[in-house]
Amino acid sequence: MDVVLDIGISGVLMGLVYALLALGLTVIFGIMDTVNFAHGEFLMLGMYAGYLTYAYLYPEPLAGVPVAGLVGMLLGVLAYTLLVKRLLSGPPIAQIFGTFGLMLFLRYGALAVFGPNLRSATQGLVVAKRLVVGGLTLDAAKVVAAAGSAFLFGLVYLMLRRTKLGLALQATAANREAARYMGIDTDRMNLIGWALGGATAGMAGALLVNFYYVSPTVGMVFSMITFTTVALGGFGSVPGALIAGILVGLIEVFTAQVISPQLKLAVIYTVFFLVVLFRPRGLLGAR
Amino acid sequence: MKIWGIIREAFTFSDLSRGERIGLALLLGAIAVFPWVVKDGFARTVAVQFLYYAMLGLSWNFIGGYGGQIDLGGAKNVGFGAYGVALPMVLWDWPFWLGLPIGVAFAVLESLVLGLGLLRLRGHYFAIGTLAVALVWEELFVYSEWTRGARGLLLPFKRAPDYLYMQLTPVGFHYFIAALFVFSLLWLNWFRRSKLGYQLRAIREDEDAAASLGINVLAAKVKAYCISSVVAALGGAFYAVYYGFIDPDSVMHLDLSIMIAMTALVGGAGVLWGPIVGAAVLIPLDRYLGAWFGGGGILGMDFLIYAVIIMLLAAYQPKGVAGLIEALVLWRLKATGRSTAGLRAVGGR
C-alpha cells in the first residue's frame, strides 16, 4: 500500500507540472484554434535559461525561474509576431507546418548552440534533498516544482477569472467576432496568449531543472505529453488542464511501475490517440 | 480489361504543360543514362538517395499533398518495409522477395486499422496523431528484443550480384531504385486523375462539402493512406538491402518522417512533380553540405536549415517551388498585359 501511495504522490507532483504546461497550450488553442508544436521547445529553452542562470550567475536553480519566465515570454511574443501572425491568413497546411518548423528550429538551434550533452544542476536549496512528511519521504525538488506549478496555475486562473484582461481573453476564446464587436483588440489577445504560454512553459522548465536533466531534444517528449494532457482535459479548458495533468502524471508513473519504464511514453501516446478518437472534446471541453 | 485502362491512365501525362512534360522526359532520360556517364562513387550514392527520398515524398503526396492530411509519421511505413525484409532474412535466411510482401502487407494492414481511427481526426489532431503513432512504433522497435532493439539488424552478406537477396552492384541498385521510383510516379500519376484522387482533393478543400456531395470521406482517406503506406514500405525494403544495415534510428525516426514531408512541401505538396523537385533541392544540398562540413560541422545543421526553409515556406509560399513558378508565370502574363484566363495550374489538373 505504501508503494502505491508513494508512486501516486510522485505522479500527482509531476502531474501539476504537466498541468502548468497544458495551461499555456490550452489558452492559445482556446483563443485562436492553433496548436503550438513548439510548446515543448519553449519549455526546453526555459530549462536552459534556468540552468545557465544557475551555472553562471547564481548557484541556485530556483533563481532561474523568473529568468526563464522572461525568456519564455519573449519567445512567445517573437514567435507570434514574426511567424504565427503571418500563418493565420494562410491555408491549414501552413499553420501546421509553421509551428512544426519553429519546433525544429528551436530544437536543432539549441543542439547547435548548447551541444548534445546532458546537463543537470548538482547543488541548490532543494536539489537531491528529501522531505519527510508524516512518515512519507518525498523528493523535495519535485515537491517544489509541483508547488511552484500549482501556484502559477492558480495565479493564471485568477487572472483569467478576475481581471479585465482575463475576461477579454475568455471572451475572445468564446467568440472571436463578438469579442471584436465589443471593442476587444483580438489581435492583441493572441499576442498575450502566446506571451502567457511562453512564460508558463519557460517557468515550468526552470522548475524541472532541480531534478530533471537538461538537453536540446527533451522538448519533444514534453510536447507530446502536453498534447495528451490538453486533449484529455479538453482543448481550451483551463480546469480540464489541471485534472488531466494530474491524470497523465499518474498514468505515467503507474505505467513505469507496473508495465515498464521504457513504455511509459508509448502508453501516454496511446492515451492521446484513444481520447481524440473516442472523446474528442476531452473531459471538460466545450466542443 | 480494366487493368489496361489503369495502365493507360498511369502513362497519360497529357494534362501537364509542355514544359512539365519535357522536364519529366529529361529527368527520366538522365536517370537512365546516369550510371554510364557518372563514374564518381559519391555522386552515384547521392543519385540513389535522391531517388529514394523522391519516392518517399511521392508516397506522402497521396495523403498529405492531394488529401491535405498532414502525415508526420511517414517513417513508420518505411520501417515496416525495411524490417519486413531484414528480419526474416536475418532470422531464417529468407530471400528479399519473400520478405517484401510481408513488410508491405504489414504496412497496409497497420495503415488500414489505425487509419480508420486516425483519419477521423482533422487538421492538427491528425498531424499530432500520426506523430504519436510513429513515436509509439519507434519506441516498440527500440525496446523489443525480437527486432534486436536499438542495435539494429545487419543483413547476411552474399556475393553481389545476388538477385534472390537483392544484393546488387552500385549500378544494379541504381536501376532498382529507379524502377521503384518510376513505379511510384506512375501510380501517383494514375491516382491524381482517378476518382479517388478527385475525391481527396475535394476533401482537402472542404471536408464537410465533400461529405455532403456523397463522398465517403473516411473510406477515401483510408484508401489513399494505405496506398501511401505501400509506396513508403517499398522504399524501406530497398533501403534495407541497399545499406545492409537498419536500426530504428535509420528507418523509423522522426527525422525521416520530417524529411518525407519536407520533400513534398519544398517542391509543392499536391503537385505530381513536387516531391521530385523537393528531393532534387534537398538531398544534394544536404549531402554536399554534410561532405563539406565534414565531421567537424555543427551538429544538426542540416535540420536547422530545413527548419528555416519550412518556416519561410509556411509563411510566404505554402505551395513551395510549384507555387513560386505559378506566381512567376502569373506575374509575367500580367506584366505583358495578356489574359490570365486560360492559365493552367502547375502540375496538371
Q: Give yes or no for A98 touching B (CB within 8 A).
A: yes
- For the record, the C-alpha cell of A252 comes out as 505515467
> What tens digit of pLDDT does each residue of A240-259 get?
999 999 999 999 999 888 88
Establish if A150 belongs to a structural domain.
yes
What is the domain range of residue A251? 2-278
- Average pLDDT over all residues of chain B: 87
Distance CA A247, CA A233 (A): 9
For position B135, what pLDDT does the model report?
A: 86
Sign of the alpha-carbon dihedral angle for A64, A69, A70, A75: positive
> What tens digit of pLDDT does each residue of B160-210 get?
678 788 888 888 899 999 999 999 999 999 998 889 989 999 999 888 998
Establish if A82 belongs to a structural domain.
yes
Which residue does chain A place closest to B69, by CA atoms? A93
Distance CA A242, CA A238 (A): 7
3-state secondary structure B161-226: CECCCCECCHHHHHHHHHHHHHHHHHHHHHHHCCHHHHHHHHHHHCHHHHHHCCCCHHHHHHHHHH
Establish if A283 belongs to a structural domain.
no
Q: Which residues of B touch A97 (CB under 8 A)?
A: 70, 261, 265, 310, 313-314, 318
- Over residues B74-80, the mean pLDDT reads 94
| Cross-chain Cβ contact B299/A111 below 8 Å | yes
| Cross-chain Cβ contact B129/A272 below 8 Å | yes
For position A109, what pLDDT does the model report?
A: 92
For position A107, what pLDDT does the model report?
A: 92
- Paired sense of beta strands B153-154 and B245-246, if any: antiparallel
Residue A235 sits in a domain whose CATH number is 1.10.3470
> What tens digit of pLDDT does each residue of A77-102 get?
999 999 999 988 888 778 888 888 99
Residue A119 DSSP symbol: B
Q: Which stretches of chain B sit within 8 Å of chain A by CB?
A: 68, 70, 72, 117-118, 120-121, 123-125, 127-129, 131-133, 135-136, 139-140, 142-143, 254, 258, 261, 265, 269, 298-301, 303-304, 306-311, 313-316, 318
Task: Closest CB to A101: pick one of B129, B269, B314.
Answer: B314
Establish if A117 belongs to a structural domain.
yes
Whether B321 contacts B278, CB under 8 Å: yes
Distance CA B123, CA B292 (A): 39
Establish if A286 belongs to a structural domain.
no
- Identify the band that residue B343 occupies on the pLDDT scale cut at 50, 70 and 90: low
> What tens digit of pLDDT does each residue of B83-127 get?
999 999 988 989 999 999 999 999 999 999 999 988 888 888 888
- Over residues B30-59, the mean pLDDT reads 91
For position B51, what pLDDT does the model report?
A: 95
Q: Kindly tell me the number of DSSP H helices and DSSP E strands found in chain A.
A: 12, 2
**What ipTM does this complex have?**
0.86
Establish if A287 belongs to a structural domain.
no
As a whole-number percent, the residues of chain B with pLDDT over 70 amount to 93
| Cross-chain Cβ contact A101/B311 below 8 Å | yes
Q: Tell me the CA distances in angstroms from B215 to B29, B51, B66, one per residue in order.
A: 39, 34, 15
- For the record, the C-alpha cell of A101 comes out as 518548423
Distance CA B92, CA B81 (A): 17
Residue of B297, B340, B288, B346 lying closest to B317 (CA atoms): B346
Q: Determine the distance in angstroms separating the CA of B300 from the nearest CA of chain A, rounded to an integer.
A: 6
Residue A263 DSSP symbol: G
Establish if A193 belongs to a structural domain.
yes
For position A149, what pLDDT does the model report?
A: 94
CB under 8 Å to B68, separation ≥6 — which residues?
A92, A93, B200, B203, B204, B205, B270
Distance CA B2, CA B73 (A): 33
Distance CA B142, CA A108 (A): 22
| Cross-chain Cβ contact A91/B123 below 8 Å | no
- For the record, the C-alpha cell of A93 comes out as 497546411
Task: Provide the domain count of chain A.
Answer: 1
Residue of B69, B125, B257 for testing the chain A interface, max A β-carbons within 10 Å:
B125
- ∠ CA B67-B49-B80, nearest 5°, is 60
Establish if A221 belongs to a structural domain.
yes
Distance CA B252, CA B239 (A): 12
Q: Tell me the CA distances in angstroms from B60 to B54, B68, B70, B246, B259, one per residue in order.
A: 10, 10, 9, 22, 10
